[in-house]
Structure 1
Amino acid sequence: MLDSGASLHFTNDMDDYIEYAPLSEDIVVHTANGVAFVKGSGTVLLNCPLPSGGHTTVRIAPVYFMPDLSIRLLSMGEFLQKGMRVSGNAEKVSILQKSGKPFLVFHPRTPNDTVYCVESLHARDAMSIFLTVCNLDYQTMHRRLGHPSKDVLRHAREHTADFPTIEFPKEEPLCCGCAEGKMPLRSFPPSVRRASRPFELIHSDLKSFPVDSYHKYKYAIMFLDDHTLYAWAVCLRSKDAALTATKHFLANVENQFKTKVQKWMSDGGGEYKSKAFDALLKDKGIEILQSVPHQPQQNGRAERLMRTLSDKAEAMRFDACLPQSWWEFAIEHAVHVYNRTPLRRLKWRTPYEVLNGEAPSIKHLRVFGCGAYVHLPPAVRTNKLSPKSELMVYIGVAPGGHGFRFMRSPNNIIFTSAHALFDEKMFPKCPTNQRRRTSRIDDPEDENPSDHEPTVPSGSDDDDEPRHPPHQPL
């Protein structure tokens, strides 16, 4: 309820908070009904309906917790102190930001009532619908899809399901992640011929990384289907594990797609030349094709894919200021996104569509490395007064595609949940003075776009091969 007499914002419901801190001692407040006690304060997100349909989310802080209060109160004076304006009539009262944009709109509780309230879901309900806390724009979709070019994004609008309505800029915007993570290299000659059916020819390549990953992985092995350009990747702790990863991949093809691989192309590296590896392929009747050592052009598709995925992963990691050891999460997410990205070689269809026969939905994609307020189940909370959610870092889709994976601070523990409120323009790992974008939540104190650091050029995204959420790491 909007209250012109309240000096502060108050709520009586702990479920409203996304961040909360108890006071060292209660504050005594005198109300019309006597004395009440303020227990703490924090940040509240209100998910409010728009007149045109849909919802918008606003952040309000500080909001004080008074459990004995009979109704939530929003202080008109607090809004005015923040430089906002009030405009209204008998039908509605609007709180306007400095720019004139409505921040909150209050309506009479009942016809002819003089009490004005705002309709809202609190944070717990908002998280149950995977709410994103701002309107989607071009830059957000560029980040969601792993930093592709504008041309690729245009085709994604036509060849994926649930692509949102966004405005495309006339010129390619600058993107820090692209500038820091993508390195232009001499391209390989394109392969004109393609396999005539899925799994007729599989390309494979292995890449080493200079830093051990979060799970102590040192390598990533990639499998690419020549016909669909669909790809898979698995993180490995040693080169010897490539044999086990290949066994699992071949078994997955036979079980899931009811077919067998006919030909196998690799670069002839040591991990592919062992007697055990040869025996595995020959026992399954797979023809072995190997390029000449140190001539990567002969295995060009695998090399291009590995380069493209590495560029995407690094662009996402740099953009979100994530540590080098998180490369495994970036690689896995790059695969998932790339399999859902239109490719020129497929006449702008996605590898997912060519393999599965239907366009992929991308409504579940979020910006890698962004912040998310993740719902904490009762068993995880410290006590009943603990916040119902916690700010974590989004690190990709959960295995099997059910829910999301997050990194929980301060101990860097992986947390899986299907209930989260995403702020895709806020990156918790970036230093405060280097954040590359503003919060996507409407915030009355954050309206000046000139305060935000610009982004850098998005490199051209050649339509190399993609891949899917990796198999379980070995």
Structure 2
Amino acid sequence: MKHKSKAFVILKNVKALVGKEIGYVIKALRSNRGGKFTSKEFNEFCEKKMRFNPTIKWGRREKKNKTILNIARCMLKVKSMPKEFCAEVVSCAIYLSNRFPIRNVKGGLKPKVDHLRVFWSIAYAHVPNKGRSMLDDRNVKHVFIGYDANSKGYKLYNPNNGQMIVSKDVELLKKRHEIGRKKKTLMIFFHISKKVIKKL
């Protein structure tokens, strides 16, 4: 939908299509109180054709969006990343939030998390034989920035040339990562012992 003014026309078309093709009747409609859902003609149509309450909020969706933005904001701050990576950070935050533990898991199947890696960590991507000569490096240094939605590959960013790639043949360093020219040590432990803290 390119224009919000088309919402009313689309609703009527969808209602007619659902009734004709499937045989179902739309009896209730929920909105987020947007202006496109509170117009006079929209409300009159809904009062006649279905039960509609324009004051009901999509609390669950708004809460989910807020959670994702909070995760993305923390990732940007912790890694001192520029805002140009905002889209990739949000995409990664959505991927992770969909795998958060929940109380009731449908079917008793828990999501697989063994493939998750530390965001913005150093990653060495394998270069295929067709793309290099005999003396070229077999691996190229990148930075891990997320997970590909259409494959099992990882999204990688090359800070030297600014290119982004998706690769399955990746070796990710779990304990060290590099941001620009500054090298830092990242300890991946939920509970750091006192001995480690003293060494730091």
Q: TM-score range by the shorter chain?
A: 0.5 to 0.7
C-alpha distance in 1, partners of 2:84/2:55? Answer: 27
1:365 pairs with 113, 116, 120, which one? 116
Q: Which AA in structure 2 matches 1:367?
A: V
Map of 2:81 onto structure 1 = 322
Match in the other structure for 1:304 = 63
1:406 aligns with one of 128, 152, 156: 156
Hey, what's the Cα distance between the residues in 2 that align with 1:306 and 1:358?
Answer: 25
Q: Secondary structure at the match of 2:116?
A: coil
- Structure 1, unaligned stretches of length 5 or more? 1-238, 241-269, 441-446, 453-474
Distance 1:420 1:439, change over 3 A: farther
Specify the alignment match of 1:275 in structure 2. 8
Q: Judging changes above 3 Å, is the alpha-carbon distance between structure 1 residues 319 and 279 closer, same or farther for their aligned structure 2 residues?
A: farther
Query: 1:345-378: CA deviations, max 9, x gaps?
Result: xxx24xxx43x65211111111121111111112
Matches within 5 A, 1:44-443: 240=2, 271=4, 274-279=7-12, 281-282=14-15, 283-284=17-18, 287-293=28-34, 298-343=57-102, 348-349=103-104, 353-354=105-106, 358-381=109-132, 383-429=133-179, 432=182, 435=184, 437-438=185-186
CA distance in 2 between counterparts of 1:340 and 1:319 reads 21
**Alpha-carbon distance change, 408 to 421 in structure 1, aligned in 2, over 3 angstroms:** same
Kindly, what percent of the aligned residue pairs are identical?
20
Which residue identity does 2:138 align to in structure 1?
Answer: K
Give 1 or 2: higher strand fraction.
Answer: 1
**Greater relative CO, 1 or 2 (CA 8 Å, sep 6+):** 1
Q: Tell which structure's C-alpha radius of gyration is larger.
A: 1
The count of aligned residue pairs is 168
Report which of the two has the higher share of helix.
Answer: 2
Alignment of 1:444-455 (within 5 A): 450=198, 452=200
Give, in whole Å, the separation in 2 of the partners of 1:373 and 1:296: 52
RMSD: 3.3
Change (3 A) 1:438 1:305: closer
Structure 2's unaligned 5+ residue stretches are 19-24, 36-53, 189-194
Given the superposition, is the C-alpha separation of residues 296 and 418 from structure 1 closer, same or farther in structure 2, using an over 3 Å criterion? farther
Question: TM-score, length-normalised on structure 1?
Answer: 0.31
Deviations 1:196-252 (A, max 9, x none): xxxxxxxxxxxxxxxxxxxxxxxxxxxxxxxxxxxxxxxxxxx83xxxxxxxxxxxx
Q: 2:150, 2:34 → 1: CA distance?
A: 36
2:166 is paired with a residue whose SS is strand
